[in-house]
Amino acid sequence: MRVHIATDHAGMELSSHLITALSANGYEMVDHGPAAYDAEDDYPAFCIKAATAVAADRAAGVDALGIVLGGSGNGEQIAANKVKGVRAALAWNLDTAKLAREHNDANVVAVGGRQHTVEEATELIEAFLAEPFSNAERHVRRIGKIGTYETTGEITE
């Protein structure tokens, strides 16, 4: 599986750790930056690039997911969710990480680097990456309604 990753300055240590650890576990890691620490960096460009790459890979049939990191993960999740076809979820415990994939077929996970130890964050992300989508009819239906709104602006009930 290809995994696109992006961060801001607050998640650089975690990003570096994840690239090494997940590569060792067989994931093809693609780093969307930043390349160097800058306490004044602006995360949206990094996160949007990672999310865009996830959406493009998935549209091309490539098995791909994404990771966006920051201090809280909130802004990074918001930025990633602006990309058409991306469903980014903020994970703060194992249940939210797994349910994001199982119920929502989230394709990007956001984690706050200042909210967890490196070990905790790694466990959340590994759980997200490993969890399959359930394909349960109710979840497929709900995700379809989100997709309809995203592409047409129509709210379906």
The answer to whether residue 103 is catalytic is: yes
| Residue stretches of the annotated binding site for D-ribulose 5-phosphate | 8-9, 71-75, 104, 114, 138, 142
Per-residue pLDDT band for 100 (boundaries 50, 70, 90) equals very high
Q: What is the mean pLDDT of residues 56-84?
A: 97
Per-residue pLDDT band for 122 (boundaries 50, 70, 90) equals very high
The answer to whether residue 154 is catalytic is: no
pLDDT for 10: 92
Question: pTM, whole model, 2 decimals?
Answer: 0.97
pLDDT for 43: 93
- The residues that bridge with 68 in the sheet, in sequence order, are 6, 110
Return all residues near 36 (Cβ < 8 A) that are at least 6 apart. none
pLDDT in tens, 23-64: 999 999 999 999 999 988 999 999 999 999 999 999 999 999
Instruction: Please state the three-class secondary structure of the chain as a single string.
Output: CEEEEECCHHHHHHHHHHHHHHHHCCCEEEECCCCCCCCCCCHHHHHHHHHHHHHHHHHCCCCEEEEEEECCCHHHHHHHCCCCCCCEEECCCHHHHHHHHHCCCCCEEEEECCCCCHHHHHHHHHHHHHCCCCCCHHHHHHHHHHHHHHHHCCCCC
Our CA dihedral for 93, 25, 133, 33, rounded to 10 degrees, sits at 70
Return all residues near 29 (Cβ < 8 A) that are at least 6 apart. 3, 5, 18, 19, 22, 23
Domains and CATH numbers, the chain: 2-152 (3.40.1400.10)
| Residue stretches of the annotated binding site | 8-9, 71-75, 104, 114, 138, 142
**Whole-number Å distance between alpha carbons of 11 and 94:** 19
Catalytic entry in 17, 102, 103, 126: 103
